[in-house]
Amino acid sequence: MTRATQADLPEVIDFLKRDICRSMFALSNLDRLGLDGAGKYGTSCWIRRSGGDITDVLSITNNGIVMPQCPTEPIIAPIFGRKVAGFVGPAEQCRPLMDLLKIDGPINVDRDEPQFELARADLIVPDAGGELIPFRDAPRDLMIQWLTQYSQEAIGMTAQDAANSAAAAVDGIAADPEQWVLVVDGVPVAKTGFNADFDGVAQIGGVFTPPEHRGRGYARRAVAMHLAQAAEFSRFTLFAASDTAARVYKSIGFKRIGDWTLCLYRSPIDV
């Protein structure tokens, strides 16, 4: 096992692309920021080889998110001696790694979610009204409220942490051209967006409908309309945080491809 260098990066990318829909966070980070990039999403990689070929890659962001793509066996050594904020990745790889490490500490969220994939040709767009507007054009205070609720529901943040996170994140989200809000009869009712993309594949994240607008098909409509207009992408992937969400995504053509672990600690833990 060795730390990846710039010379290894093309091979690392090629390896991760073999399972692209389950490697999107690492691929997107490496594409945008490079290997060992700056900022909290800057990502470093460690590789294992057999017969000269890469068989496993462990990616870790600067803010302590561990992302295994290790189908052969876990890579564990680089995790020791650092602060770990969480694990995200294929459940059959994350869970054995987490069992080996036995990290103990307060947790915001720790669950396995079904992961889905969609080819553009299979997209089903509901025949319904409404329009998508850029997130930046939606009322700012309302968007902070939505982001606060989302962080509490989806990733288990406390009310205060969620409010702080939303206030800090809203302007960055507004600057992202792939963040959208569904408006029906002049009222914002749901949001959708991409949280990673690479080589013609986009990963949907941050889908949210506030409680007062749920049960009316708005999330389904928002996601489908967004994907229909994102013509530069041919494949899409996402995770379902609930059975209701899973049904929504299946109804617009998504097919399940596996399970995805999402484990985030309340604060980074020394390992």
Q: Please give the chain's pLDDT, 271 residues, in tens.
A: 999 999 999 999 999 999 999 999 999 999 999 999 999 999 999 999 999 999 999 999 999 999 999 999 999 999 999 999 999 999 999 999 999 999 999 999 999 999 999 999 999 999 888 999 999 999 999 999 999 999 999 989 999 999 999 999 999 999 999 999 999 999 999 999 999 999 999 999 999 999 999 999 999 999 999 999 999 999 999 999 999 999 999 999 999 999 999 999 999 999 9
Sign of the alpha-carbon dihedral angle for 57, 98, 236, 182: negative
Q: pLDDT at position 127, please?
A: 85
Q: pLDDT at position 17, please?
A: 98
Q: pLDDT at position 128, please?
A: 82
Measured CA angle at 63 (ends 50, 171), to 5 deg: 130
Q: pLDDT at position 72, please?
A: 96
Q: Which CATH architecture has domain 2-103?
A: 3-Layer(aba) Sandwich (3.40)
**Homologous superfamily assigned to 119-258:** Gcn5-related N-acetyltransferase (GNAT) (3.40.630.30)
CA 55 – CA 73 distance, rounded (Å): 9
What count of Cα atoms within 13 Å lies in the side-chain half-sphere of residue 84? 25
- For tokens 């998508």, name the residue: 132
Phi and psi based region of residue 50 (left: phi greater than 0; alpha: psi -120 to 50; beta: remaining): beta
* CB-based contacts of 213, cutoff 8 Å, min separation 6: 189, 190
* CB-based contacts of 3, cutoff 8 Å, min separation 6: 44, 45, 46, 47, 78
Helix, strand, coil shares of the chain, percent, nearest 5, are 35, 35, 30
Bridge-based pairing of strands 43-50 and 235-239 is: unpaired
Q: pLDDT at position 201, please?
A: 98
CA 116 – CA 173 distance, rounded (Å): 24
What is the reported pTM? 0.94
CA 179 – CA 118 distance, rounded (Å): 19
CA 156 – CA 178 distance, rounded (Å): 25
Q: pLDDT at position 129, please?
A: 86
Amino acid at position 143, single letter: M
CA nearest to 70, candidates 45, 34, 44: 45
